[in-house]
Amino acid sequence: MSQLPRLIAILTLLKSRRILTATELSEKYAVSIRTVYRDIQKLIEAGVPVITLEGRGYTLMDGYTVAPVQFTEKQANALITAHHLVTRTNDSSFLADFEEALTKIKSVFRSSILQKSELLHDKMHVFDTRIESISSNALSEIQLAITNFNYVEINYRKADDPNISFRKIEPCAIYSTENKWILIAWCHLRKDYRAFRIDRIQHFKILPEQFEDRKFSMERHFKDDAYGKEADNASIT
């Protein structure tokens, strides 16, 4: 890749990610770290406010904007495909936020790309074989609680259990399996990590108080066989 396309690619990455290291950029574009340093300097000389965080990497000054990027037809098709898959989610809040985001993205499509993407949309379908039709409306708020480290209070009902339990939790991570969203959180009632099906949360409240990051790792945690079994049970109950 020549320098100009690489500079544009680096700028796009900086806009889409909070921090990038020189090593990451070097490996991604198969260039030396010294070349990365020169690229960053070129961007700075061109007026791009790249900030160097000592020992961490590069980021852009808050509030900096660039002209809208142009999408290829294949990239637009990938977004349309993602839209079809996302519509199978059982969480209405997440679906609404995704559709609003996609509308903003499509606003920068060239007219020819937009026309073809709408044609593809009408010619695609994802069949859903789910038996359950339980829906939720909490995913978007819970995602914010995860990234902002806010405590959450929930009323939760397990499968085949008429009783509803109150929990104060620290939301750590989410995953999807069998078209169901699963929340992994530190439960103050159980004093341990627990898996909750989001569509079984009867009521939730995001608290303004923040908890200390427990440095939860999904990969590390699933290596624990006991927890793996519990998570599997939570995903189907």
Per domain, the residue ranges of the chain are 3-60, 73-122, 139-236
Task: Pick the most confident of 47-61, 102-116, 129-143, 222-236.
Answer: 47-61
- Name the 3-class secondary structure at 107: coil
Task: State both tokens at 22.
Answer: 């020189």
Q: In CATH, what number does 139-236 get?
A: 2.30.30
Higher pLDDT, 206 or 134: 206
CATH topology for the 3-60 domain:
Arc Repressor Mutant, subunit A (1.10.10)
Give the pLDDT of residue 236.
39
Of residues 105 and 200, which shows the higher confidence score?
A: 200
What gap in Å lies between CA 78 and CA 82, rounded to an integer?
6
Residue 226: is its pLDDT beyond 70?
A: no
Selected residue with higher pLDDT from 148 and 85: 148
Of 4, 14, 6, which is closest to residue 58 (Cα–Cα)? 14
Does the pLDDT value for residue 87 go beyond 90?
Answer: no
Nearest partner of 209 among 152, 153, 150, 167, judged by Cα:
150
Mean pLDDT rounded to a whole number for the chain: 85
Query: Helices (DSSP H) in 30-110: which residue ranges?
Result: 33-45, 73-86, 92-106
Pick from 26, 91, 23: which is nearest to 57 by CA? 23
Greatest extent of the chain over all pairs of C-alpha atoms, in Å: 65
> CA 14, CA 11: separation in Å to the nearest integer?
5
Do the beta carbons of residue 125 and residue 84 sit within 8 Å? yes
Q: In the predicted model, what is the mean pLDDT of residues 92-108?
A: 86
Least confident of 29-38, 95-104, 197-206: 95-104
Q: How far, rounded to the nearest angstrom, does the alpha carbon of residue 78 sit from its chain's CA centroid?
A: 16
Average pLDDT over residues 132-142: 80
Quick check: pTM over 0.75?
A: no
Q: What is the pLDDT of residue 235?
A: 41
- For helices 139-148 and 92-106, the axis angle rounded to 10 degrees is 80
